[in-house]
Chain A
Amino acid sequence: MRLNKAVSVYLATALLAAGAVGPAWAQLKVEVTNGVSDPVPVAIVPFAKPNAGDGGLDVASVIEHDLQGSGRFRTLPRTNMPATPTQPNAVVMGDWKNAGEDYIVVGRVVPLDGGNLAVDFDLLNVLTGQRVAGQRFTGTPSALRNAAHRVSDVVYEKILGIRGAFATRIAYVSVDGQPPAQKFQLIVADADGENQRLVLESRYPLMSPSWSPDGQWLAYVSFENKRSAVYVQFVRTGERRQVSARAGINGAPSWSPDGKKLALTLGGSSGNPDIYILELQTQNLSRLTDDPSIDTEPTWSPDGKYIYFTSDRAGGPQIYRIGVNPGDRPKRITFTGNYNARPRVSADGNLLAVVTQDSGNYRVAVQDLNSGTFRVLSKGHLDESPSFAPNGSTIMFSEREGSRASLATVSVDGLIGLRLKSEQGGVREPAWGPFAQ
């Protein structure tokens, strides 16, 4: 009985995720807030489709949204298309050249035996007439959207030379209402904000989602028992377990690159937050920092040798780095301004993203870890929780304007801004998952 009452959280069921809760969710829209001056012109021609079984998904439209949303491409409106070929040999290059295009993508959705679908596509260079890429992705009808994102990844990489991150997922926290009627939801979605799935819902705060390196698990903080605890949850089945519910703060979990450990913040009964490393298999706990200040928000360097974290040991919060081997001493990393917190490191280990105080505003900034160059990227008043795309090209963060909160992205060069806007409710703490394996 007592246990039942203590359980404040319920796991999403398949039916809930399938649409029953749809209208209550924060609906996301994509809006490009600024873009590069010379986007690549590309035409994504509507794909040939089988009559049934694909759920009516417009594959070309998903690709179009991906590429246009990246800010690096300009897609041709369908009403301006000279024709709608679906096979490469049906493309009359001259027509597309005249339409101002550099590239064209044509494709087909093909039904396979057993109910699966294949997505075939060809990427053609209109100026040279050459076929640049072509590939087939197969899967169940429900995986069709993912296949479309994979086509976007190929097109992006072939044209720009950078691995695409469209077929990746994000986790974020959505919040509705005020205490005591607050509703927290942990949600997983495609990187474009589509395909939202409810992972967890609670009346008490859910915080700090962190992906396992294989993209199968989420670690997070839940206050469902009116105290903080860290959980890990297998996303596909909803199976979860509590890994830390010690006295005081249990916070800021961060999965190690080898997937075996969590860095986290523990406060103890005396309330002094320090950084620890928890070995998931053995439950072994080792202490990394021991300082009367607030040490929190640990995150791993990609090589797994260092932890970057926030500490106010020098007064205001700044970013420090400490080796994971016992006995190392923290080294201060940020020196620009009075407030730098919530570090994240890019996959190549070269860039550090932080929340910085910038003339009274809280904004996302990056520091080049080699040169020390520090640059403010976002333009809002209350921006927070930066998270790198796995290809390092983009940072997702949350921003607030008035009572609205949104997810937004900015390219690491600051040139391209994109908003995944919340229609209702607050969205926050985006965590960009790894490349699919």
Chain B
Amino acid sequence: MRKILMVLMLATALVSAGGCASKKPKPGASQSTEVGANNGADSAGAGSDAANAGNVGADDDVAGPQGGLLAKRVIYFDFDSSDIKGDGNDVVAAHAKYLASHTSTRVRLEGNTDDRGSREYNIGLGERRAQAVRRALMLQGATEGQISTVSYGAERPAAVGNDEGAWAKNRRVEIVYLGPGGQAAPVQPQPQR
């Protein structure tokens, strides 16, 4: 089959000085045109909170207990598995013991997967791992109210690369200790249209 190789520089006009004048979106500029209805001033923003973007919930995560196994916060998993293996059991046991004796302390378990396959399915797999650690902590004395879980699936990799070395580092649950404020409050929904 004949290969047509064509490389088109797109998006250059958007950032070139010459292209700016006509492309600067104006609020409401897309109204009342026949061809612009789908494509006008789409990003006329409704407020910017850029100043706060850098310190999101920074007060919620704390260093937590240090020393020995308690300094270890990551549990690793085999491919397509949510079984806690070897060293992971010792790490979980140490944190369970700590939580059992510090009943007002809370943790968030962040489940992660490697980045192969489908993203939302990986969210499910990451949650399954976080739940496995949650159950193990509770079996060893932590209480339900001390533990929250989140799955980031493949979205927050610890290592980059398309090889088993990177994948193995990414199949993990991270234990994050929370300050007295606990989990960040949800953002208030915007008024409904």
Q: Are A and B co-members of a single complex?
A: yes
User: Is there contact, CB below 8 Å, between A57 and B22?
Assistant: yes
User: Is there contact, CB below 8 Å, between B25 and A18?
Assistant: yes
User: Is there contact, CB below 8 Å, between A179 and B156?
Assistant: yes
Q: In the bound complex, what is the Cα–Cα distance between A169 and B152 (angstroms)?
A: 28
User: Is there contact, CB below 8 Å, between A226 and B157?
Assistant: no
Instruction: Type the 1/0 row for A9-39, where 1 means its CB is closer than 8 Å to any CB of B.
Output: 1111111111100110101111111110101
Query: Which residue from chain B places its CB closest to the CB of A265 in the assembled complex?
Result: B120
- CB B2 to nearest CB in A, in angstroms, measures 6
What's the dominant secondary structure at chain A's contact region?
mixed
Could you say which residues of chain A place their CB within 8 Å of the CB of B21? 55
Given A178-B160, A342-B120, A385-B118, verify A226-B57 contact (CB < 8 Å). Answer: yes
Residue among B148, B155, B183, B192 having the largest count of chain A Cβ atoms under 10 Å: B155
Could you say which residues of chain B place their CB within 8 Å of the CB of A55? 18-19, 21-23
| B53 contacts chain A at the CB level, 8 A cutoff | yes
User: Is there contact, CB below 8 Å, between A190 and B23?
Assistant: no
User: Is there contact, CB below 8 Å, between B187 and A7?
Assistant: yes
User: Interface residues of A toward B: which range?
Assistant: 35 or more
- CB B7 to nearest CB in A, in angstroms, measures 5
User: Is there contact, CB below 8 Å, between A65 and B117?
Assistant: no
- Residue of A2, A14, A248 touching B25 (CB-CB under 8 A): A14
What's the dominant secondary structure at chain B's contact region?
loop
Could you say which residues of chain A place their CB within 8 Å of the CB of B11? 22, 25, 27-28, 193-196
- Residue of B8, B40, B127 touching A143 (CB-CB under 8 A): B40
User: Is there contact, CB below 8 Å, between A193 and B10?
Assistant: yes
Could you say which residues of chain A place their CB within 8 Å of the CB of B4? 32, 34-35, 39, 68, 71, 74
- CB B94 to nearest CB in A, in angstroms, measures 23
Could you say which residues of chain A place their CB within 8 Å of the CB of B49? 4, 7, 9-11
Could you say which residues of chain B place their CB within 8 Å of the CB of A11? 45-49
- CB B142 to nearest CB in A, in angstroms, measures 15
- Residue of B8, B118, B156 touching A65 (CB-CB under 8 A): B8
Q: In the bound complex, what is the Cα–Cα distance between A310 and B130 (angstroms)?
A: 20
- CB A72 to nearest CB in B, in angstroms, measures 11
Query: Which residue from chain A places its CB closest to the CB of B117 in the assembled complex?
Result: A362
User: Is there contact, CB below 8 Å, between A5 and B150?
Assistant: no
Could you say which residues of chain B place their CB within 8 Å of the CB of A226? 56-57, 60, 108, 150, 183-184
Query: Which residue from chain A places its CB closest to the CB of B112 in the assembled complex?
Result: A179
Query: Which residue from chain B places its CB closest to the CB of A229 in the assembled complex?
Result: B186
Given A13-B48, A31-B6, A150-B35, verify A249-B121 contact (CB < 8 Å). Answer: no
Residues of chain A from 212 to 250 with CB closer than 8 A to chain B in the complex: 215, 223-229, 234-243, 245, 248-249
Could you say which residues of chain A place their CB within 8 Å of the CB of B165? none
Query: Which residue from chain A places its CB closest to the CB of B53 in the assembled complex?
Result: A10
| B189 contacts chain A at the CB level, 8 A cutoff | yes
| A270 contacts chain B at the CB level, 8 A cutoff | yes
Query: Which residue from chain B places its CB closest to the CB of A416 in the assembled complex?
Result: B4
| B15 contacts chain A at the CB level, 8 A cutoff | yes
Residue among B57, B123, B148, B192 having the largest count of chain A Cβ atoms under 10 Å: B123
User: Is there contact, CB below 8 Å, between B186 and A225?
Assistant: yes
Q: In the bound complex, what is the Cα–Cα distance between A365 and B57 (angstroms)?
A: 41
| B59 contacts chain A at the CB level, 8 A cutoff | yes
| B41 contacts chain A at the CB level, 8 A cutoff | yes
Could you say which residues of chain A place their CB within 8 Å of the CB of B156? 179, 182, 205
Q: In the bound complex, what is the Cα–Cα distance between A141 and B189 (angstroms)?
A: 35
- CB A38 to nearest CB in B, in angstroms, measures 9
Instruction: Type the 1/0 row for A32-62, where 1 means its CB is closer than 8 Å to any CB of B.
Output: 1111010100000000000001111100000
Could you say which residues of chain B place their CB within 8 Å of the CB of A239? 46, 190, 193
Given A2-B185, A18-B25, A382-B162, verify A192-B10 contact (CB < 8 Å). Answer: yes
User: Is there contact, CB below 8 Å, between A236 and B44?
Assistant: yes
Residues of chain B from 114 to 160 with CB closer than 8 A to chain A in the complex: 115-121, 123-125, 127-128, 130-131, 134, 148-153, 155-158, 160
Query: Which residue from chain B places its CB closest to the CB of A245 in the assembled complex?
Result: B186
Q: In the bound complex, what is the Cα–Cα distance between A271 and B57 (angstroms)?
A: 23
| B33 contacts chain A at the CB level, 8 A cutoff | yes
Given A169-B38, A239-B190, A249-B151, verify A403-B33 contact (CB < 8 Å). Answer: no
Could you say which residues of chain B place their CB within 8 Å of the CB of A6? 56-57, 184-187
User: Is there contact, CB below 8 Å, between B43 and A17?
Assistant: yes
Given A35-B2, A197-B43, A207-B155, verify A241-B121 contact (CB < 8 Å). Answer: no
User: Is there contact, CB below 8 Å, between B30 and A236?
Assistant: yes
| B20 contacts chain A at the CB level, 8 A cutoff | yes
- CB A193 to nearest CB in B, in angstroms, measures 5
Query: Which residue from chain A places its CB closest to the CB of B109 in the assembled complex?
Result: A271
Could you say which residues of chain A place their CB within 8 Å of the CB of B128? 271, 294
Instruction: Type the 1/0 row for B9-33, where 1 means its CB is closer than 8 Å to any CB of A.
Output: 1111111001111111111011001
Additional A-B contact list (11), CB under 8 Å, known A2-B181, A4-B49, A403-B160: A6-B185, A8-B52, A55-B19, A225-B187, A237-B44, A248-B127, A249-B124, A271-B130, A312-B124, A382-B116, A385-B118
